[in-house]
Amino acid sequence: MSVNNQNKTVESRNEVLWRIYVVMFVMLLGCFIIILRIGTLQIIEGPELREQADRMHIRKRPVKAARGNILADDGKSLLATSLPYYQLNWDLTIPNQDSFVFYLDTISTLLSSFIDEDLTANALRDKLIRARESKDKFFLIRKNVSYNELQQVKTYPIFNSGNKMKSGLITMEMSKRQYPFKMLANRTIGYNRVLEGQKNDKDTLAIGLEGYWNDVLSGEEGLMWMQQLGKDIWVPVNDIANVEPKAGNDILTTINVDIQDITERSLLEALETYEAEHGCAIVMDVKTGEIKAIANIGFNKERTQYWEDFNYAVGENIEPGSVFKLASMIALLEDGHVKLDDTVNLNKGKWRFYDAVMEDAYPHGIYYTTLGDVFEMSSNVGIAKTIHKYYNGSKEQQMQFIRRLSEMVLDKPTGIDVGGERPPFIKDPNRKDWSGISALWMAIGYELEMSPLQMLTFYNAVANGGQMMKPHLVKEVRSYGDLVEKFDPVTVKKRIASKKTLDTARDLLTRVVSSTHGTAHNIYTPQYKIAGKTGTAIINWKDYQTGKESKQYRASFAGFFPADNPVYSCIVVVTNPKWGNFGGIVAAPVFRKIADYCYASSIESHSSINKEKFVYTDGTLPKLQVGNKNDLKTLLDHLNMPYADDSKSDWSVGFVENDSITLLGRSVQDDIVPNVVGMGLKDALYLLENRRLKVKVVGVGKVKSQSVKAGKSIKAVQNITLVLG
């Protein structure tokens, strides 16, 4: 091969290699650029692009269900309800240019005052023009728009097309929890809200019925197609949900609005009068355990006004003081240790037990008196000495006292259907902090703790013949008025003590109020019997004993009414009054005001006038008016009164003589004016107007006289005047 040919071959090979190198370089450069671009997209431009992509996303989003109502015991009064409200936005890219320009002045005028009273039409016009030029898809019109306001806006030009895809009107429905009775039972009704700064539904603050019954009230979320227009801004694509939300159920509570109102007002008046720190009051139905009212009032955080800041009735465990003496007396009576006429040495109201001195609430100078009087005057020394005699001689005796308290279910929570309750604290002889005086101080309501509701549940059982009922606040779950679930009264224990013991206990409680020596005689009324017990507890006993503080008191009163036929039980607790101090002075009058209202408004509190059988006479038999015989017979049958029917017409006169009632006939003919004297207005008008007479009525009551005498021909009469009286 020649040299020339070899050179040509080498040159060709070099040219090919050079071309390959160029291609490889270009490819490597391209790969480098691609990798660089990918990195730029991922790291630098990525977040913005992802956010932009998200804004274009359309996805299914959860739609909250309408929250159920909380109803008062009448099933009509709303304690809590949810009302719809709307946020209105305008996608200004949707209306066509001709419509926007044509209606711009009109809609600016209409919307300016709707958005803000100080916003002028010209100012809004300029805003809308700028927003449209910037292609604003979410121009805020207004938040918190009511349903009626929304309907009004939908009548405005452009928005009245009825089609969001033409008008661009974006309506975002929300709901607000409303409480029609404002602060009434505020803490009991409660709330369920997302904690500030949290977006997770698990981080909710649940209080009261709203919290405890949240699963029932909240319903089930639905799903709706929504488009993201911005960060955390999602708007419905259409008004049709893919999965409809299921509204929450309603709960029917036991709260009586009227009793709740008088309870709160009476408690607040006492707190203001005695400048107390806080207080609570509960009213319970004796037979069922239904809570008819529960009031909790204390100073707000700034201590500038009274507010419902905590559920003291359920969540505050306290030393109950002398109201607990009822349990001590029942234990003594049930074990057969004492009788009410047993004599007790009070030593003028002061006695030393080991290294501790116990005193009565006030100096009285009495040495010897009966155990019944000890309870009436609420002597600490008298009760403690009796307990010491029968229950403090050995550990077994101490255990027996604790067992008696347990048999009265004083050591267990009530299980009420609202959050915040804690178990009671009852000391046990096996505890390290048990001492020789523990049983004695427990007997008068110290060295143990329980909530006011737990104490009331015990008193309610005494009122109910020993049958302890579980207190409850909800009796039904409803869906659109239909019953979903019913909660019947629950018996915790059929009898907490023997009938004989409970009869004696109820008599003792009645004497506390009716006896002139009783600590609650100031609330005695001859109208009905009240049974109850005062309590005055020193809440800073240790600091007082060491001289660090002056005495601070907790005044209370627990009981039931009417004592001979209990309908309601009630407890009132007032903590740290600046003056007044004693339960009989501070708490008992609140109880009396509540009891007076309940007694006056509750038919169950009154004895039937015909409870006792007696012979009716013409002085006690009803004075029956003249009227339709069937109506008179229905009335007499309802009253269960025997009568004789001597009437052969449809209209009768009730004739009363001695101890009998006879229905006598009254003749009524079509062509003559009837005798309507003695009739009610309804019957008289029926007879006269059916005979085409024009009737003029003067006065009220039964027909006393008629201007046209009975028996006159109807043809000669057109008008008739009835005088009632």
Cα(534)–Cα(539) distance, integer angstroms = 16
| β-pair type (568-575, 627-628) | unpaired
Cα(668)–Cα(108) distance, integer angstroms = 74
Tokens coding 411: 């050591």
Query: Which pLDDT value is given to residue 627?
Result: 79
Percent of the chain with pLDDT over 70: 85
Asked if residue 257 lies in contact with residue 188, where contact means CB atoms within 8 angstroms, the answer is no
Residues in the chain: 725
- Residues in a beta bridge with 721: 696
pLDDT band at 9 (very low <50, low <70, confident <90, very high): low
Region 36-59 average pLDDT:
65
Tokens coding 701: 């009551």
Close Cβ partners of 546 (under 8 Å, ≥ 6 residues apart): none
Opening angle at CA 281, ends 276 and 283, nearest 5? 165
Residue 53 has pLDDT above 80, yes or no: no
pLDDT band at 423 (very low <50, low <70, confident <90, very high): very high
| Closest to 559 in 3D by CA, of 595, 612, 602 | 595
Query: Which pLDDT value is given to residue 6?
Result: 61
DSSP class of 204: E
Percent of the chain with pLDDT over 90: 50
User: What are 364-379's pLDDT values in tens digits?
Assistant: 899 999 999 999 999 9
- Residues in a beta bridge with 156: none
Which residue in this structure is represented by tokens 């720190």? 277
pLDDT band at 615 (very low <50, low <70, confident <90, very high): very low
Query: Which pLDDT value is given to residue 657?
Result: 65
Residue 321 has pLDDT above 70, yes or no: yes
H or E element that contains 701: none
Query: Which pLDDT value is given to residue 389?
Result: 96
pLDDT band at 630 (very low <50, low <70, confident <90, very high): confident
Close Cβ partners of 275 (under 8 Å, ≥ 6 residues apart): 577, 578, 579
Q: What radius of gyration do the chain's Cα atoms show? A: 41
57 vs 54, 62, 87, 88, 515, CA distance in Å? Answer: 5, 15, 21, 21, 80
User: Taking the mean position of all CA atoms in its chain, how far away is CA 392?
Assistant: 44
User: Taking the mean position of all CA atoms in its chain, how far away is CA 58?
Assistant: 42
Residue 195 has pLDDT above 50, yes or no: no
Cα(220)–Cα(518) distance, integer angstroms = 57
Asked if residue 588 lies in contact with residue 557, where contact means CB atoms within 8 angstroms, the answer is yes
For the segment(s) 259-605, the CATH number from 3.40.50.10070, 3.40.710.10, 3.40.50.720, 1.10.1060.10 is: 3.40.710.10
Residue 192 has pLDDT above 50, yes or no: yes
* CB count in 10 Å sphere of residue 192: 20
DSSP conformation letters of 223-248: EEEEEEEETTEEEESSS--SBPPBPP
User: What are 478-487's pLDDT values in tens digits?
Assistant: 999 999 999 9
636 vs 134, 623, 630, 677, 682, CA distance in Å? Answer: 83, 11, 10, 21, 19
Q: Which residue has the higher pLDDT, 253 or 218?
A: 253
707 vs 70, 677, 687, 710, CA distance in Å? Answer: 57, 11, 15, 9
Would you kindly state where each structural domain of the chain is located, as residue ranges? 3-44, 60-252, 259-605, 627-724
Tokens coding 188: 């009991």
- Residues in a beta bridge with 204: 194
Query: Which pLDDT value is given to residue 199?
Result: 46
Q: What is the 3-state secondary structure (H, E, C) of 616-641?
A: CCCCCCCCCCEEEHHHHHHHHHHCCC
Q: In this predicted structure, which of 59-63, 421-425, 575-579, 640-644 has the lowest mean pLDDT?
A: 59-63
| Most confident among 461-465, 548-552, 631-635 (mean pLDDT) | 461-465
DSSP class of 408: T
Region 269-292 average pLDDT:
96
Region 634-645 average pLDDT:
79
pLDDT band at 669 (very low <50, low <70, confident <90, very high): confident
Cα(170)–Cα(237) distance, integer angstroms = 9
Q: What is the 3-state secondary structure (H, E, C) of 321-377?
A: HHHHHHHHHHHHHHCCCCCCCCEEECHHHEEEECCEEEECCCCCCCCEEEHHHHHHC
Residue 412 has pLDDT above 60, yes or no: yes
CATH architecture of the domain covering 60-252 = Alpha-Beta Complex (3.90)
Close Cβ partners of 341 (under 8 Å, ≥ 6 residues apart): 370, 371, 372
Residue 303 has pLDDT above 80, yes or no: no
- φ, ψ of residue 413 to 5 degrees: the values are -70, 160
Three-state secondary structure call for residue 474: strand
Tell me the whole-structure pTM to 2 decimals. Answer: 0.72
Region 573-592 average pLDDT:
94
Strand order in the sheet with 703-706: 694-698, 719-724, 703-706
Region 569-593 average pLDDT:
95
User: Amino acid identity of 627?
Assistant: G
Cα(481)–Cα(68) distance, integer angstroms = 11
Asked if residue 285 lies in contact with residue 292, where contact means CB atoms within 8 angstroms, the answer is yes
Opening angle at CA 221, ends 201 and 210, nearest 5? 55
Asked if residue 588 lies in contact with residue 570, where contact means CB atoms within 8 angstroms, the answer is no
Cα(511)–Cα(373) distance, integer angstroms = 9
pLDDT band at 242 (very low <50, low <70, confident <90, very high): low
- Please give the mean pLDDT across all residues of the chain: 86
Query: Which pLDDT value is given to residue 507?
Result: 97
Query: Which pLDDT value is given to residue 65?
Result: 82
Residue 619 has pLDDT above 60, yes or no: no
Q: Which residue has the higher pLDDT, 97 or 645?
A: 97
| Closest to 557 in 3D by CA, of 268, 266, 320 | 320
Q: Is 724 exposed, middle or buried (0-12, 13-18, 19+ CB in 10 A)?
A: middle
pLDDT band at 606 (very low <50, low <70, confident <90, very high): low
User: What are 325-366's pLDDT values in tens digits?
Assistant: 999 999 999 999 999 999 999 999 999 999 899 999 888 899
Q: In this predicted structure, which of 134-143, 390-399, 410-419 has the lowest mean pLDDT?
A: 134-143
- Residues in a beta bridge with 220: 246
Query: Which pLDDT value is given to residue 614?
Result: 45
Query: Which pLDDT value is given to residue 230?
Result: 62
